[in-house]
């Protein structure tokens, strides 16, 4: 049996082909899996479980059917969909895990996280993350009418895009460094949890990194995004494979 890991799908009405690819993945390959883990940013944006969305409804139905078929579905909130709540999780039949979370994977402890906590060089983002994860902030935001939440999300997204554009124009090398993980934080995280395998997304830089932390050899697996194709990590008792899923031709 194989355990599947995906992240950064950024499902959005503007990219229906990616939503179709994901639904096909859930209806077919995922049905044969031991479990499915979604490590954040399933959606491009999420402003509350009461948001009307036919795509979100279709995703919830597909995931719930997967769960009911005997394949457990686990979800870690991302930076785009950290407001996914218990109501939607129940609709989708998925269990929300803390970020980070340690699981047992074929007899070995593995650390799972979305990945944004590793990007400590992006000081402005980390400040926003701390503010936006505050329970008081979340309660106040979700209490607002839907229209007000939509306007706030659009404003925040525009500000984020402007910030990234400014960094790229000033120093693209610095932009790449700031938006990637901080090596020191990666090492510190391995030591903090006492594990030697980590899986995360967020940076959209799919790769398998091997590094030495003291006397331990560690592996950090970065999941890819689903902008132009799919990306899945398949893990079984024999090891792991990080592969792309191509969109159907024509």
pLDDT tens for residues 71-116? 999 999 999 999 999 999 999 999 999 999 999 999 999 999 999 9
pLDDT tens for residues 181-192? 999 999 999 999
Query: What gap in Å lies between CA 30 and CA 94, rounded to an integer?
Result: 14
Q: Region 3-8: what's the mean pLDDT?
A: 98
Q: Find the distance separating the first CA and the last CA of the chain, reported in whole Å.
A: 32
Query: What gap in Å lies between CA 21 and CA 23, rounded to an integer?
Result: 6
pLDDT of residue 213: 84
- Mean pLDDT, the chain, integer: 92
Give pTM, 2 decimals: 0.94
Q: Is 7 helix (H, G, I), strand (E, B) or coil?
A: coil
Query: What gap in Å lies between CA 57 and CA 73, rounded to an integer?
Result: 16
Which domains, and CATH codes, for the chain?
Answer: 3-119+180-245 (3.60.21.10)
More confident residue, 125 or 214: 125
Band (pLDDT 50/70/90 cuts) for residue 44 is: very high
Band (pLDDT 50/70/90 cuts) for residue 157 is: confident
Query: What gap in Å lies between CA 178 and CA 125, rounded to an integer?
Result: 10
pLDDT of residue 52: 86
With 0-12 / 13-18 / 19 or more C-beta atoms within 10 angstroms meaning exposed / middle / buried, residue 248 is exposed
pLDDT of residue 235: 97
Beta-bridged to residue 110, according to DSSP, are: 103
């Amino acid at each position: 049996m194989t355990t599947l890991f995906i992240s950064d799908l950024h499902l959005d009405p503007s990219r229906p082909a990616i939503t179709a690819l994901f639904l096909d993945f859930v209806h077919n390959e995922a049905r044969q899996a031991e479990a499915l883990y979604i490590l954040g940013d399933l959606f491009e944006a999420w402003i509350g479980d009461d948001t009307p969305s036919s795509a979100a409804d279709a995703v919830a139905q597909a995931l719930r059917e997967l769960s009911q078929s005997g394949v457990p579905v686990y979800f870690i909130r991302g930076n785009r969909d950290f407001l996914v709540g218990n109501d939607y999780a129940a609709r989708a039949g998925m269990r929300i895990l803390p970020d980070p979370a340690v699981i047992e994977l074929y007899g070995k402890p593995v650390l799972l996280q979305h990945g944004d906590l590793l990007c400590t060089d992006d000081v402005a983002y980390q400040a926003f993350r701390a503010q936006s994860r505050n329970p008081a902030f979340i309660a106040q935001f979700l209490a607002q009418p839907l229209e007000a939440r939509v306007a706030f999300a659009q404003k925040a997204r525009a500000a984020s895009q402007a910030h990234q554009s400014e960094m790229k124009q000033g120093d693209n090398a610095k932009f790449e460094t700031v938006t990637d993980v901080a090596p020191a934080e990666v090492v510190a995280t391995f030591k903090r949890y006492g594990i030697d395998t980590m899986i995360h997304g967020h940076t959209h830089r799919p790769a398998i990194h091997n590094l030495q932390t003291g006397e331990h050899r560690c592996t950090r697996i970065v999941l890819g995004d689903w902008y132009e194709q799919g990306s899945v990590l398949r893990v079984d008792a024999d090891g792991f494979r990080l592969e792309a899923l191509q969109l159907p031709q024509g």
